[in-house]
Structure 1
Amino acid sequence: MRVAIAGAGAVGRSIAAELIAGEHQVMLIEREAKQFEPHTVEQAEWVLADACELASLEDAGLQLCDCVIAATGDDKVNLVVSLLAKTVFAVRRVVARVNHPANEWLFNSAWGVDVAVSTPRVLAAMVEEAVSVGGLVQLLTLRQGQANLVEMTLPADTRWAGRPVRDVKLPRDAALVTILRGGRVIVPQPDDPLEPGDELLFVASADVEGEIRRAFSH
């Protein structure tokens, strides 16, 4: 997969290194000369340009990318990059970094964003996930805000202990996609029994999360 990353600061470089380790092709676009340091991620293609300028993106070959990540420290820049990537260059997947929580509502399909990643929200979700048992925790917003990745840990006294997955009656716009049990990742099958301490991962639209909670409350 070919990925373009707008912003070669600490965040952009870290993402690039992870993607390169996963054998993806990465292009880093940076407009500040002081942050243009190709030696820090040598396997990436580096472009010194303003990612908000259409001509610069054309010269960089953004139309050849499968994914664009807007990872600068400026929300306005990230929104413009996302919009250009989606509407002008028809990039299939656009991921944008949200720096300020107050701006999170802007990062949606209207601005070309498929996935918005808000560091404060992710950190808060990780804390909730670590301390919450029996509650539903939103981990990530997916697909232009149309669905969320949510998690629930079954408590020790759960009534669902030993009951098969098939007994779980989920709403239409929700799916149990993974069970984390100890060090195992389980793709749930109808006959698989649930156990106390299971971490259940669901993909669901936001408006049915309450129904998931109710499904496990009895």
Structure 2
Amino acid sequence: MKVAIAGAGAVGRAIARELVINGHAVTLFERETRNIKPDILPAVTWVQADACELRDLERAQLQTFDVMIAATGDDKANLVVSLLATTEFAVNRVVARVNDPRNEWLFNDDWGVDVAVSTPRLMAALVEEAVSVGDLVRLMTFRQGQANLVELTLPDDTPLAGKPVRRLQLPRDVALVTIIRGRRVIVPQPDDALEGGDELVFIAPEEAEAELKKVVAVTL
């Protein structure tokens, strides 16, 4: 996969490093000369360019990339990069970093964002996930389809223990995508038995979250 990353700060470089390890072709766009350090990531293609400038993206032939990641420390810049990548270059997938949670509402398909990743929200969600039992915790938002990745941990004494997955009467358009049980990641089948302490991970439209919470609460 061919991936462009706007912003060669600590976050952009970390993402690039992981993608290269996983075998992807990565290009880092960086405006500031002082931040261009090819010796740190020699397997990455470094381009000195302003990813908010149309002419710079044209020179880089952004239309040939599969994914654009807007990873700068400036939310305004990330929105502009996302919009250009989608509207001018038809990049298949656009992922944008949200620095200030107050701006998260802007990061949607109106600005060309498919997936918005808010570090503060993600950290808060991980804390909630670690301590919350029986409550829905939103882990990530997929803006293109207006769907969220949500998690619920079953109490140890859940009445569902030993009962099959099919007993969960999920709302429309809600899917149980995985069950995390200790170190196991289980792709759920209708006859798989649930256990106390299971972490249930769902994909759900935002408007279905309240109903999902009610259904699971009633089931519990």
Normalised by the size of structure 2, how large is the TM-score?
0.97
Matched, 1:197 2:197: yes
Matched, 1:79 2:79: yes
Q: Given residue 108 of structure 2, which amino acid in structure 1 is its aligned partner? A: N
Q: Given residue 200 of structure 1, which amino acid in structure 2 is its aligned partner? A: L
Deviating 4+ runs (over 2 angstroms): none
Q: What's the secondary structure of 2:166's corresponding residue?
A: helix
After the TM superposition, which residues 25-174 of structure 1 pair with which residues of structure 2 at under 5 Å, given as runs?
25-144=25-144, 146-174=146-174
After the TM superposition, which residues 179-218 of structure 1 pair with which residues of structure 2 at under 5 Å, given as runs?
179-218=179-218
Aligned length: 218
Residues in 2 aligned to 1:182 and 1:151: alpha-carbon distance in whole angstroms: 15
- Indicate the larger mover: 4-13 or 135-144: 135-144
Q: Deviations over 1:156-178 (max 9, x none)?
A: 11111111011110001200000
Q: Given residue 155 of structure 1, which amino acid in structure 2 is its aligned partner? A: P
Residues in 2 aligned to 1:44 and 1:75: alpha-carbon distance in whole angstroms: 24
Q: What's the secondary structure of 2:217's corresponding residue?
A: coil
Q: What's the secondary structure of 1:29's corresponding residue?
A: strand
Residues in 1 aligned to 2:209 and 2:109: alpha-carbon distance in whole angstroms: 21
Residues in 2 aligned to 1:115 and 1:64: alpha-carbon distance in whole angstroms: 20
Q: Deviations over 1:43-70 (max 9, x none)?
A: 0000001111111101112111000000
Q: Post-superposition shift, 1:217?
A: 1.6
What are structure 2's unaligned runs of at least 5 residues?
A: none
User: Are the counterparts in 1 of residues 116 and 143 from structure 2 also a CA contact under 8 Å?
Assistant: no
Normalised by the size of structure 1, how large is the TM-score?
0.98
Give 1:21's aligned residue.
21
Output the aligned Cα RMSD: 0.9
Q: Post-superposition shift, 1:127?
A: 0.3
Q: Post-superposition shift, 1:145?
A: 6.0
Percentage identity across paired residues of the two chains: 67
User: Are the counterparts in 2 of residues 108 and 145 from structure 1 also a CA contact under 8 Å?
Assistant: no
Residues in 2 aligned to 1:163 and 1:214: alpha-carbon distance in whole angstroms: 19
Q: Given residue 169 of structure 1, which amino acid in structure 2 is its aligned partner? A: Q
Q: Given residue 166 of structure 2, which amino acid in structure 1 is its aligned partner? A: R
Q: Deviations over 1:89-111 (max 9, x none)?
A: 00010000011111111111110
Residues in 2 aligned to 1:216 and 1:161: alpha-carbon distance in whole angstroms: 13
User: Are the counterparts in 2 of residues 115 and 145 from structure 1 also a CA contact under 8 Å?
Assistant: no
